[in-house]
Amino acid sequence: METTAAEERLNEPGCRSMPGYEVKLDIFQGPLDLLLYLIKKNEIDIYNIPITLITGQYIEYLHRLQSLNLDLAGEYLVLAATLIHIKSRMLLPVDPLPGEEEEDPRRELVEQLIEYQVFKEALLELDKLPLLERDVFKRGALADDDHPPPAEDEALEVNLFDLLQAFKKIASTWDVVMEIDREKITLAEKMNHILTILLERDGVSMEELLVCGISKSQLLYTFLALLELAKMRLIKIYQAETFGRIRIFATAA
Amino acid sequence: MEDIKAIIEAMIFSSDQPLALDKIQDALPEVGMVELKGVIESLDNDYRQQGRGIVLKAVAGGFQFRTRDDLAPWVKKIRAGRPAALTSATLETLAIVAYRQPIVKAEIERLRGVDVSAPLKGLLEKKLVKILGRKDVPGKPIIYGTTKRFLEVFGLKDLSEMPTLRELRDIGG
């Protein structure tokens, strides 16, 4: 069933030649997926892949896919190169060193393919489970996925310098307490903590986050976590006016 | 006994996350753990035997009331506009994280053969995956793992309840 659908998609005439449209190639989840599809289509033993045949078919598909999405094509080309490399190694006469076992050039790829296939199967099993918000529902969990920044303060993006300034300002209001015990905080914990807060609330101001911390190291870790999250583009940081309140939002999905 | 059952029912009902047994125990210190489990079991039976639209489910290390899974078509009618489906790319990434955690991004990419920045970010946002820390190798890559929310969404008591992976050697024959 799946195979025929995939075939149809590929053979659709409009699919190839539409400049200006980005076509999401969701029939194949990547080069490994395409390769597995070809292996299944040809009813090939995965442990004994006829590399010439498969490489030929794979490259033929690439030609058809290539015009669709350049980004994807890049990853597909890496595997094409691997296939050609394996093919060339198989053509060369093997001259194993004494005491060394002759290795099948296909081995590494086959292992990767099998591992990938295991996950593909596990995925189908996972998808069969009764999923929350799809098959089963808990009490009154309403949609809170999109939370645009509140309109009250016109948001403008802040730079690193503003962030540092704000941090200094807040840090200076703290009475620094001498610490003897070393607290156990990790950056990951702080990052998750901030993400949890943002999951529960629309947005949070930097003051609120930094007030939670009692010690200097808490302050520092929170600040570092903010920088790290911003770098990972999981949060957005806004400031309405110079020296104004800095607010943090989760990046919209 | 009946009172305790009603109390526990109310506690689980009012909690928006799976309510852990420990928490119930803390709130009802005079009730022993064995009795507590018995009451919950009996509550579970009540719902089943009466053919209610709600079931008591042991999930993510706690208990939660959920709609019966065969009722989804009707429940969905009043919850329009909220498709909770994950894309295949996201689901593939999630499956790899779930089975191979703790795992770094490079390893997920090796297994999938594609860049996983976008699906991984989506999973972090959905709180299905979290950062566990950093691996102590050059570059200190971030280590990822699944969250309690993952267990809740997939209706699993704990990670051991995940469908088992087929043995590698069984495949391909």
Q: What is the pLDDT of residues B111-130, one digit of tens each?
A: 998 889 989 998 998 889 99
What region does B169 belong to: left with phi over 0, alpha with psi -120 to 50, or beta? alpha
Mean residue pLDDT of chain B comes to 87
* Residue B47: pLDDT band with limits 50, 70, 90: very high
Q: Do A137 and B131 touch (CB under 8 A)?
A: no
Chain B segment 11-30 residues within 8 A of A by beta carbon are 13, 16
Q: Do A118 and B168 touch (CB under 8 A)?
A: yes
| Over residues A72-83, mean pLDDT | 82
Closest Cα partner for A138 from B158, B65, B150, B61?
B65
| Residue pair A81/A70 in contact by the 8 Å Cβ criterion | no
Q: How far apart are CA A42 and CA A45, in angstroms?
A: 9
Residue B91 has pLDDT above 60, yes or no: yes
DSSP letter at A136 equals B
Q: What is the pLDDT of residues A194-252, one digit of tens each?
A: 888 888 888 888 888 877 556 777 888 888 898 998 888 888 888 877 778 888 888 86
Structure tokens, B117: 């920045």
| CB-nearest partner of A143 from B82, B111, B163 | B82
| Residue pair A150/A205 in contact by the 8 Å Cβ criterion | no
From chain A, pick out residues whose CB is under 8 angstroms from the CB of B96: 119
From chain A, pick out residues whose CB is under 8 angstroms from the CB of B11: none
Q: Do A79 and B113 touch (CB under 8 A)?
A: yes
Q: How far apart are CA A222 and CA A174, in angstroms?
A: 15
Q: How far apart are CA A16 and CA A3, in angstroms?
A: 19
From chain A, pick out residues whose CB is under 8 angstroms from the CB of B156: 129
From chain A, pick out residues whose CB is under 8 angstroms from the CB of B126: 253
Say what the pLDDT of residue A145 is.
41
Residue of A nearest to B95 (CA): A123
Q: What is the pLDDT of residues B19-30, one digit of tens each?
A: 999 999 999 998
* Side chain identity at residue A115, one-letter code: E
- Residue bearing tokens 């607010």: A247
| CB-nearest partner of B130 from A29, A187, A192 | A192
